[in-house]
Every structure is written in structure tokens, then in C-alpha cells.
A and B are shown apart, each in its own frame.
Chain A
Amino acid sequence: MKHLGGHVALHNTFDRRTALRLSGFGAAAWLTRVADLLAVESEHAPQGEPARSIILLWMAGGPSQLETFDPHAGRSIAGGTRSIRTSVKGIELAEGLPRLAEQMDKIAIVRSLTSKEGDHERGTYLLKTGYRPDPTVIHPSIGAISCHELPHGGTEIPRHVSILPGRWPARGGMLGDKYDAFLVGDPAEKVPDVTSPVSSERLAERIEALDIVERAFSRGRSGQVEATRHRATVEQARGMMASEQLAAFDIQQEPHAVREAYGDTPFGRACLAARRLTEVGVRCVEVTLDGWDSHANNHEVHRELVATLDPAIAALLADLHQRDQLRQTLVLCGGEFGRTPRINPLGGRDHWPHGFSYVLAGGGVRGGQAIGQTDPEGGSEVDQPHDVADIHATALAALGINPLKENISPAGRPIKLSEGQVIRPLLG
């Protein structure tokens, strides 16, 4: 973790960072000062230190709660899906997640998320930003907020990354597109666009040529051209191209056994890359596992995807734990909605935003608990319902960010980072 801190200009992030801290819970942990931020360098964060990165495992399409984190084995709504025991007494997962079940003590499940968005695009927006779509403003995703709020540190590569991005990757929204996630594909492939297609000598000549063109354009408008920061951004991009931190994308540097544990799938590789990225100070890595939209053959679709998810998420949690990084890395897992308790004539389950599951782990989240319950008979009423925004408020709180902090939208409207309520038992 030598990269963090050091000589890097932290000033530009401190002035943005709010001085407001939540009080009333967690007490001193919320009073993060400059000195504490510099102390982030320590690998052994003291108890109560806020998390500093998020890994968001995005289950695109909307996974069925019944075939994943909220089984109702034996009930008619289960449609034959069985459940398995976990390392925590009294909490069961759906069959097909045996390795995650071993890690149950590290994870918390909220089984009673409710939403009014039953459309993929709108639901994705809600889950990624904590807000329903609004024609007047584009809300930032949680990854964008964390990059905006938390110190820059010594990170030379993009601090917001989306691996295997789906159709609607995380955006910076009103915070600006510089907070959009940097999109990369399967870590088996090279990271796009970070290596020059020409030799370094030729690149140097090209940059010299660029300066000739820039000089001509700046004449008579140098102040304006300077203000665009175009040339400075080119330099930042070149800095990234030269950065050793790019190696974080290269999972080939991991031992074979580690790679094997995550699973030989694009998603497994992406989870491993996500872990490596957070180690060099990337604030948020979104990793997408797509294909959960099981309007037909629900069980089959889920069997396959769960087989990909299980080793990857379990290995990620175990790996983070073993490296003593789980405390500082918040892992989230979920999709845009759940699926209907009733199975349709095609053997599928349709969209169901009325009660679905979301998983949180690490980052100070107290594992080994399940919050809320869905109706075993398939009704749309849930016990201890939570808004999607509550997940956001909780995640922000875990990162030491005050959810009530406001940004001003382009229309001049103050908008809170989250309007949700922190789910306190999660951080207990």
C-alpha cells in the first residue's frame, strides 16, 4: 500500500470533502480528520475505520431472490428449489451456493428491499444511484459519489472502474462525466486504450507534433484553451499509461490457485481484478454478471449463473479476509429487482420489485445476519421493508460519507447524497 498517501496532491479533494460528520452512531469513527486520512496507509485499520473502497457485484437482469439469497424451500413458490445450511445457524441460502454458505458469517442479507421500478433501465438506475429516474437531473452512482467524496490518494489509474459493463454502467451524472466508470472487459484481455499503438519514440514525436498544433490554436485564446484542461488531461492520460498500477488489471500475476478459486469465468476473473484494483486505491469497482432475466426456464438460467457467482463471491470474501482487507472493502451484490414468486407457464419468473434481496459484506458490515422477510406464500407484503435508498445511505455511512450531504443539481436544486435511512443493524 505504498502508493497511497505520499507526495500526492490531496488538497483538491479535501476542500470538496465535507466537514460534516454523522454523529449518534459509531461515534469517533465518523470524525475523520486529515491525519486519519493520511493514516489510511496503514494496512491494519483500527476497528471502526470507515471502508475506503466498494466492490459492487452487479447481477444484471434481476436475479430471483428465491434461487439465491431468500429461498423458501418446501413452499409452493420455491418451485422445487431447495435450500442449504450456512455457517450461521438459522440462515439458509438457495442450493448452488455452497461456498458462499461457508462465508455466511461475513455477509448480511437484506431480504426485504422494495421498489416501484419494474423496468430494467429504471430499476438499474434506482439500484445504482439510490434515486428513481428524474427528468431534471441524473443522479450519480454510488461509485461516482465515493470518488467525489473520498480523497484521491496516490491512484494514477481511474478510481471508478466497471468490469464487463452491461448496458447501463455506473455514471457520474450531475457530478460530471469525469466520474463515469472506466469500462474494461474480461481481464483475460488487455485493458483497452492504455497502451500506445506506436513505439515510445514515435509517441514522443507525436506529442511534439501535438504541441505545435496546440500552440497555434492557443494564440488569442490561451486562457480559454487553458481552462478546457485538454492538454493537462492528455498528460494525465499519459501518466496513467506509464503507471505501474496498471498491473492491478493483470490477474496473471496472481498464483494459479488463487485464480482457480475465483473460477475460470470472465466474472471470476473480474472479481479477482476488482480485489487487485482496490488494493491500489481504486474507490469503486463494478463487476457485472449478466443474464438473470429469466422470463423462461428460470431454474436452469439461475443454476448456471449461480454456479458462476458462488466461487467468485466466496473467493473474493475469503481472499479479502485473508489479506486483512475486508474491513476496508465494502462488497455489495444484487440486481435491479427480484422475480415473481409465481412461476409462469414458460417455467420463468417475471419482474418483481416488491420484495427482493441485496447482500452486503465487509466494510464494517456485521455479517451473519438476514434482515427482513418476504411472504412465504408469495404475497407482495414484506416484513421490515426497506427502500433501495436505505442500502445507499448505509453504504455511504460505511464509507464515512454523510448521506445527508447535499450537492446542487444543474437546475439549482439541493440533492442529498442519499435520502435513505441508514440500516443500523447492518453496521452494528
Chain B
Amino acid sequence: MGTKDLLLVAICATGLAVVASIVVDAGGSRRNHLPFPPRDAAFQGTVERVDHTFRQAWQSAGVSPSVRAADLAIARRLSLSLTGTIPSLEEIRRFEQQPAEGRIDWWLARLLADRRCSDYLAERFARAYVGVEDGPFLLYRRRRFVAWLSESIHQNRPYDAVVRDLIADTGLWTDRPATNFITVAMIPETNYPDPDKLAVRVCRSMLGLRIDCAQCHDHPFDDRWTQRGFQSLAAYFGSTEQGLSGIYEAKRPYKVEDYKSGEQVTIEPDVPFDGHLLPDEGTLRQRLAGWVTHPDNRAFARATVNRMWTLLFARPLVEPLDDIPLGEPRPDQPEQIVLDRLADEFAGSGYDLHRLIRLIAATEVFRLESRAIAVSGDAAELTDVQLHSWAAFPLTRLRPEQVVGGLLQSVSLTTVDYHSHILRRIIKVIGQQEFVERYGDVGENELTSGGGTIPQRLLMLNGKLVDERTDSNPLMNAATRIAMLAPTDESAVETAYLAVLTRRPTTAESGYFTEQLTGPEEDARSDKLGDLYWALLNSSEFSYHH
């Protein structure tokens, strides 16, 4: 690609300063972050109750949990889930300098203060709110919307306030970014959004309810969801229009065609349950927003907790992600009990999203190993019961943007973030887009299904990005620099493992690769390290959350 070659030339032209900033770890002191908020009694109590619920469930199922995972493995999980990339070598070094006690908390506080985290989470949430469509030309600004969400998450604005803006904000989509939630659903060549579409979005993304089927017919086995009920919910968006001043509330009754008689009937707005939580004041959308985010509307907190859990574990606590039962959990439903405990704490904290992340990350299940540890011999395996009862951390396929995020980070020894040199960031963006395009974007789906694809493997085996980033290149590629700078073969191997897999090699791995490195010099040695990098990047360990 010409662009990249040009950029490389530009890097050389900018001279030693850049080289120095990349080669030498200059990241040490420039990143300050907030101290970790102390765990108060409510926090600690919730974590203990969650742990207790799982332990009871394991006991009655007769399974024992796996052991606690290594700190580095947990740090990697957090980075992948919250920033879509892996810890850099530089970050790993600092992580390991922290006292063992509480360094996960230290790491998490660092991540939550990092722009990469709010950007990544904003994109994840945006997919639930507005999908991945480009939306109506001129009326929809997806990037503005995601930037606004990211800022809200970065500031840790109470999440209920964010959602109230999404549902009820008025004005122009350019200066009131939340209104893009409405404008993405504009019906072409009209001045109003599709109320059905918005009602579906509210249900799925904010309440964890799938009542989409009621769009066309009454729910087949749940008589609370009728088609008329769905239309009444949609009616809250039935007076919304777009004009010169942007999105506003018109005085227009919401009418739909009765599918039996074919006549236009006026639909009065109403909510499908807990009508007493509906505020009396405000515009239609403000009232709906008040109802959705009412502290007693548990569906809202549950849906948010389940989504955040899914982001952290890559598996929903209660499946499916956006279809959560409304009633009280039964004693034999530990997942739903846990969901409720976390939801209560989340609502009680004033919808503090950062605190929710810290809560989930503090639970025992988040910190478990994803494998069985043999007491004697090598034959230990996890049982299906263990795998299904959260007695081990689930093994799940990473999203394409996590794979490329990890790839681009692993080939750089310093952290690729907002402090990185602009050229490196540009290269990152270009590489990332091309890669995700070929690797296949999973779109709105939060979870990737099944195994990887052949084109994905081809892209990793032979693709330009992997080849360019493992090739001999002392400016851009960690493999080459490790080959040049590592004092011993052994430490070169270890460094590569840390940079790519965030762990140290096993004795067998270290032995094998150290021997490979012994002998060859200069270019041949760089090639050997490039080969090691290639193998690490192509491993299942690299492509899976574990």
C-alpha cells in the first residue's frame, strides 16, 4: 500500500526524535490516573453475596471451581473487554511492579481512566442503540453519537441520565448527539421516525426484552405482549418529528392501520408493565424515559448488568443477552439471582457504570482460570457442568476488532494509545479498518458464534498486516527490536510471549524457542523471532478470550 510506504518514509524523515520515542520507553511517568476508589461496605457485600450464590450452586451441583487465574491473565481479560486490545509490554512491566495485593484493582482503575476504554465501550453500546447502519443521509451522525457516548462513559455520567437523553432529547442531531438515536430510525422521505423500530430498540437495548414479535402478532406464549401493547409502547415515539430545529414533539396523534379492518385507529401511549412508575409530567418521550429509568423498574438495571457482564465475559449471565425474564428469580436460578444482586447494587449506586464494571471484575468467577488444573498428571479437563455453571472462565472467540487491536498492540513494545505518536496511530487506524473488513465485522451481534472462518485464518497466516508486522523492521516491529535488544535468547522468547500472549512461556516452550534462536545472527535471528511472533499470533490462545 502506497499510503503506508509514504507514512514509513515520513517516519524516517521526522528523524531521531520519533525513533527515540518509539524505541525508548518514554511512557513511564506521563500517564497519571485516578486512585482506585475504596471498596465500601455495599460494594464488598455485593461481591460476597455474588460469590456465595455461585458457591452454593456449585455445591449443590457437586462441582468445584477452577483455581484463580494468574494476575496477568486477568489483566489481559480486562484489557480485551474494556479496550479491545491487550496490555503492552510497557504496561505489563509497570503492572508487575505493583504490589501483588490489589494490582488488578490498580490496573482496572487505570483502564477506566483510559480513553481507549470509553471509546471501545461506547462503540459496543452504540451497536445496541443504533446498530451499524449508516442511517439516513444528512440526518444521522453516527460518529457524533459514539463520541458523545464515549464522553459520557469517560466522565462516568450516571447511566440512567444517558438513557433519558437517548429516549427524550430534542434538537439537532449535530449539536444534541443523543437525538441520533431517533434520527437513525427516520423513515426515508418523511419527517418522522419509525416508532416500531424505536420501541424495539428501547426494549432490547434498555430493558432486555424481546417483544419484537408483537410488532406483527400477539406473543405466542406470553399474554402480556400483545400487538396492541406493542403499538401503545411505540406510540411514545408517535408524535416525534424532525424540523428546522431538529427533533421535536409535534401535536399529532399516533395512528396505525388496523390489520383486520384496514382502518386508521388512534393508539394511546401506554407501557407494557409497571404502569404506576410512569411519570405524570413531561412530553411523551420524557415520560417514557422516566418510566424506563425509574429506580423501581428492575428490567432496566438487569438489562444493563447483563450487557456489561457480557462485555466482560463474552458470554451473557442470563441468556439470551436481551431477553431477561421479568419476574422474581427462583432459588434454582443462580444466574438470575446474581443478576438481581448486581442490578440492585447498580441502581442503588445511582447507575454508576464504572462501579458496576469494578463489581463484576471483583467477583470470584471473573478471576477463575479457564482451564482445569491437574492435581496429578496432565489429564485434567473441565466437565460440562463446570463449564455451564461458571466454575471456570469461559473460552470464547474474540471479536474482529479485538483480534486486530491485540495484533497491533503486540507488535509494538510501547502502548498504542492517545499518547502514541500520530503516525503510529494513523497506521493503526488504516491497518485496523482494512483488517476488520477482511476478517468480517460481526455487526450488531455482541457475541460471535461458532468457530473462526477459513478467510480469517488465511488473513492471519498470510495476510499483509501480519506479514508486515512480523517482518524484519527495526522501526515498526517489536519482533525485530526484541531480536536486537534482548540480552539473551531466553529473555527474547519471554518478551515475545509477554507482548503477544501476556504470559511467560512454559518450560517446554521456552526450551524449544530458545534453541531455535541459538545460532542464527542478525537478519536470520530477526526472522526466527518473526516466526515466533507469527506462531503466537496464529494460535488459538491469541484469538480467544480465556
Binding site for B on A (CB under 8 A): 118-119, 121-122, 133, 135-136, 138, 158, 176-178, 180, 182-183, 192-197, 202, 205-206, 209-210, 212-217, 219-225, 227-231, 233-234, 236-238, 240-241, 410-411, 413
Asked whether, in the complex, the Cβ of A196 is within 8 Å of the Cβ of B461, the reply is yes
Q: What is the minimal beta-carbon distance from B370 to any residue of chain A, in angstroms? A: 6
Q: What is the minimal beta-carbon distance from A165 to any residue of chain B, in angstroms? A: 9
Q: Known contacts A121-B134, A219-B378; decide if A178 and B453 are in contact (CB<8 Å).
A: yes
Q: Known contacts A193-B438, A206-B531, A228-B451; decide if A217 and B539 are in contact (CB<8 Å).
A: yes
Instruction: For chain B, residues 186 to 221, give those with C-beta under 8 angstroms from any C-beta of chain A.
Output: 188-189, 197, 200-201, 204, 210, 212-213
Q: What is the minimal beta-carbon distance from B461 to any residue of chain A, in angstroms? A: 6
Q: Give the residues in chain B near A219, CB-CB below 8 Å.
A: 371, 378
Asked whether, in the complex, the Cβ of A118 is within 8 Å of the Cβ of B213, the reply is no
Asked whether, in the complex, the Cβ of A228 is within 8 Å of the Cβ of B397, the reply is yes
Asked whether, in the complex, the Cβ of A228 is within 8 Å of the Cβ of B395, the reply is yes
**Considering the chains assembled together, what is the distance between the CA atoms of A193 and B457 in angstroms?**
9
The interface-forming segment of B113-121, B254-262, B285-293, B380-388 is B380-388
Q: Give the residues in chain A near B378, CB-CB below 8 Å.
A: 219-220
Q: What is the minimal beta-carbon distance from B140 to any residue of chain A, in angstroms? A: 11
**Considering the chains assembled together, what is the distance between the CA atoms of A222 and B323 in angstroms?**
32
Asked whether, in the complex, the Cβ of B535 is within 8 Å of the Cβ of A206, the reply is yes
Q: Give the residues in chain A near B188, CB-CB below 8 Å.
A: 118-119
Asked whether, in the complex, the Cβ of B131 is within 8 Å of the Cβ of A135, the reply is yes
Asked whether, in the complex, the Cβ of A216 is within 8 Å of the Cβ of B440, the reply is no
One of B372, B395, B506 near A216 (C-beta < 8 A) = B506
Q: What is the minimal beta-carbon distance from B115 to any residue of chain A, in angstroms? A: 28
**Considering the chains assembled together, what is the distance between the CA atoms of A177 and B442 in angstroms?**
8
Q: Give the residues in chain B near A222, CB-CB below 8 Å.
A: 381
Asked whether, in the complex, the Cβ of A228 is within 8 Å of the Cβ of B540, the reply is yes
**Considering the chains assembled together, what is the distance between the CA atoms of A241 and B374 in angstroms?**
38
Asked whether, in the complex, the Cβ of B538 is within 8 Å of the Cβ of A178, the reply is no
Q: Give the residues in chain B near A183, CB-CB below 8 Å.
A: 437-438, 455
**Considering the chains assembled together, what is the distance between the CA atoms of A227 and B201 in angstroms?**
34
Asked whether, in the complex, the Cβ of A176 is within 8 Å of the Cβ of B201, the reply is no
Q: Give the residues in chain B near A225, CB-CB below 8 Å.
A: 395, 540
Asked whether, in the complex, the Cβ of A197 is within 8 Å of the Cβ of B212, the reply is no
Asked whether, in the complex, the Cβ of A224 is within 8 Å of the Cβ of B454, the reply is no
Closest to B387 in A: A224
Q: What is the minimal beta-carbon distance from A315 to any residue of chain B, in angstroms? A: 29
Q: Known contacts A196-B462, A206-B531, A237-B458; decide if A135 and B200 are in contact (CB<8 Å).
A: yes
Cβ of B95 < 8 Å from any Cβ of A? no
24 CB-based A-B contacts, threshold 8 Å: A121-B133, A135-B201, A138-B444, A176-B449, A178-B450, A178-B451, A178-B453, A192-B464, A209-B512, A209-B534, A212-B509, A213-B539, A215-B508, A217-B539, A221-B370, A221-B372, A221-B382, A223-B382, A228-B395, A228-B451, A229-B451, A230-B540, A233-B451, A233-B452
Cβ of B513 < 8 Å from any Cβ of A? yes
Chain B interface size, as a band, is 35 or more
Q: What is the minimal beta-carbon distance from A62 to any residue of chain B, in angstroms? A: 13
Binding site for A on B (CB under 8 A): 131, 133-134, 136, 188-189, 197, 200-201, 204, 210, 212-213, 320, 323, 369-374, 378, 380-382, 387, 395, 397, 437-438, 440, 442-445, 448-459, 461-464, 467, 505-506, 508-509, 512-513, 516, 527, 531-532, 534-536, 538-541, 543-544, 546
Q: Give the residues in chain B near A195, CB-CB below 8 Å.
A: 462
**Considering the chains assembled together, what is the distance between the CA atoms of A92 and B546 in angstroms?**
62
Asked whether, in the complex, the Cβ of A241 is within 8 Å of the Cβ of B532, the reply is no
One of B454, B505, B508 near A233 (C-beta < 8 A) = B454
Q: What is the minimal beta-carbon distance from B453 to any residue of chain A, in angstroms? A: 5
Asked whether, in the complex, the Cβ of B454 is within 8 Å of the Cβ of A410, the reply is no
Q: Known contacts A176-B450, A213-B535, A216-B509; decide if A238 and B461 are in contact (CB<8 Å).
A: yes
Q: Known contacts A193-B463, A196-B462; decide if A221 and B395 are in contact (CB<8 Å).
A: yes
Q: Known contacts A158-B455, A224-B382; decide if A210 and B535 are in contact (CB<8 Å).
A: yes
Q: Known contacts A135-B201, A233-B451, A410-B320; decide if A193 and B459 are in contact (CB<8 Å).
A: yes
Q: What is the minimal beta-carbon distance from B499 to any residue of chain A, in angstroms? A: 14
One of B212, B370, B513 near A135 (C-beta < 8 A) = B212
Q: Known contacts A119-B136, A214-B539, A217-B541; decide if A237 and B397 are in contact (CB<8 Å).
A: no
One of B200, B387, B443, B546 near A138 (C-beta < 8 A) = B443
Asked whether, in the complex, the Cβ of A221 is within 8 Å of the Cβ of B371, the reply is yes
**Considering the chains assembled together, what is the distance between the CA atoms of A158 and B457 in angstroms?**
13
Q: Give the residues in chain B near A136, CB-CB below 8 Å.
A: 200, 204, 210, 212
Closest to B540 in A: A230
Q: What is the minimal beta-carbon distance from A389 to any residue of chain B, in angstroms? A: 16
Q: Give the residues in chain A near B467, CB-CB below 8 Å.
A: 197
Q: Known contacts A214-B539, A217-B539, A221-B370; decide if A182 and B381 are in contact (CB<8 Å).
A: no
Q: Give the residues in chain A near B212, CB-CB below 8 Å.
A: 135-136, 411
Closest to A210 in B: B535
**Considering the chains assembled together, what is the distance between the CA atoms of A177 and B342 in angstroms?**
33
- A193-B438, A210-B539 known; 18 other A-B pairs, CB under 8 Å? A121-B133, A121-B134, A135-B212, A136-B212, A177-B448, A177-B453, A183-B437, A193-B455, A193-B458, A193-B462, A197-B462, A209-B513, A213-B541, A217-B541, A220-B371, A229-B451, A234-B457, A240-B454
Closest to B382 in A: A221
